[in-house]
Structure 1
Amino acid sequence: MSTLDIVGLCGSLRNASVNRAALNLAGSLMPASMQLDVVEWREVPSFDADVFAKGYPAPVQALRERIARADGIVIATPEYNFSIPGAFKNVIDWLSRGEDQPFAHKPVALLSASPGPLGGARVQYDMRRVMLFVNAMVLVKPEVFIGGAGGKFDADGNCTDETTRKFVGDQMKAFEKWIGAVKRMA
């Protein structure tokens, strides 16, 4: 069996983000058949239809190509004002343009971490709606909401909570199976 190429997208740009730590945790708990590549999107400009009319900016084109090559995508994002962080939504807006948008039929797993008790539940529901529109194949269960995340990761971003490690590990095992199921459906 060949290694499954998984792109990781973090909805936060902050290096010390608990969602980046959660994404890294997911990568460390993936089955041996999966390899996570966390892709940065800091250079993606604000969406502008006039710019799009001239073609994709280089950072957008590179991200489109990288996602298109991947077997699956893991998204870990914080919740800003009950929803998707604006800059991250902008990235999705850029990527969704064109007939060959790379989310179509792509397996996606979502997770979120928050200092609050809900663990980013509201952002995940908005992400599911957006991913539905771009025709992504989102893993339904198990859902992972890491509430009280500040107390579950140490200063170096390592998860210190065994229950969280189990939830995230179980999701990554399910994601491996989901990718296989989506490939069989294609």
Structure 2
Amino acid sequence: MKTYKIGVIVGSLRKESFNLKTAKALIELAPKSLALELVDISGLPMYNEDLEEDTPKEWVALRKEIKAVDGLLFLTPEYNRSVTGVLKNALDVGSRPYGKGVWSGKPGAIVSVSIGAIGGFGANHHLRQSLVFVNVPTMAQPEAYIGGAADLFDAKGKLTNDSTRDFLKTYMEAFEKWVITNAQN
């Protein structure tokens, strides 16, 4: 069985981020055919087309890393009913220069994680809009809105909620099928 390399992009920079904790849980729950690796977007300079002449090394590294993966898993908190600036910046950096974007055709999925009850619904859907434009075929079902995140992890950051673990395992099994069906082999 082929192993698919999946880039995991977490849109939160906070050290104790619930999105990062969820990403680590997803890495543990992933089927064996998916090799998930965190993609660090924390040091990306803000996108500015003027910098393309002397491209920042961080942009080059991100673009190279995304080109090398077979699929993408995005985790996003919700800031003001949208995605974080760092996540949007990563999308912009990877989509340029125009016509040479690295996202195109890579199957993706979104998990939004929030301490609130609606689980980052707004951010999830804003991210979907951007992914349509950069041509990331994004898994439609099951949707993943993880609410009440403050109560799901222990002091060491381990997922302790069994029903959430079961849901995330099912989610990753669906994502595996999505990647196998849509990856550009």
Query: Under a length normalisation based on structure 1, what TM-score does the superposition of the two structures give?
Result: 0.95
Aligned residues: 184
> Is 2:108 the counterpart of 1:112?
no
Instruction: State the secondary structure of the residue aligned to 1:137.
Output: coil
Kept after mapping to 2: 8 A contact 1:22/1:112: no
- Maintained 8 Å contact 2:4/2:33: yes
TM-score normalised according to structure 2 size:
0.95
Q: What is the CA distance between 1:56 and its match in structure 2? A: 2.8
- The 5-angstrom pairing of residues 115-134 of structure 1 reads 115-134=115-134
Q: Quote the offset at 1:153 in angstroms.
A: 1.1
Partner of 1:14: 14
Quote the Cα distance in structure 2 between the aligned partners of 1:21 and 1:176.
Answer: 20
Percent of counterpart pairs with the same letter? 36
1:176 aligns with 2:181: no
Give deviations 1:132-164, integer Å, cap 9, x for gaps: 000101011111111100001112111111111
Counterpart Cα distance in 2 of 1:107 and 1:183: 6
Q: Tell me if structure 1 keeps the 8 A contact 2:71–2:183.
A: no
Q: Which moved more, 1:10-19 or 1:54-63?
A: 54-63
Range 126-135 or range 88-97, more displaced: 88-97
Q: Which residue of 2 aligns with 1:96?
A: 95
Q: CA deviation at 1:75?
A: 0.7
Tell me the amino acid that sits aligned with residue 171 of structure 2. Answer: Q
What is the one-letter code of the residue matched to 2:177?
K
Structure 1 distance, partners of 2:133, 2:24, is 27
Structure 2 equivalent of residue 72 of structure 1: 71
Unpaired runs of at least 5, structure 1: none
Cα distance change of structure 1 residues 55 and 106 upon mapping to structure 2, 3 Å threshold: farther
Structure 2 gaps, min length 5: none
Could you list the per-position Cα deviations for residues 72-125 of structure 1 after superposition, in whole angstroms to 9, with x for gaps in the alignment? 111111000110111221111111113221110101111011110011111000
2 CA distance for matches of 1:130 and 1:140?
Answer: 14
For 1:94 and 1:33, locate their aligned partners in 2 and report how far apart those are by CA, in whole Å. Answer: 29
Q: Matched residues in 1 for 2:79 and 2:133: separation? A: 21
Most deviating of 85-94 and 121-130: 85-94
**Cα shift at 1:45:** 0.3
* Cα RMSD after superposing both structures: 1.3
Describe the shift of the 1:133–1:55 C-alpha distance in structure 2 as closer, same or farther (beyond 3 A).
farther
Q: How does 1:16-31 map to 2 (within 5 A)?
A: 16-31=16-31
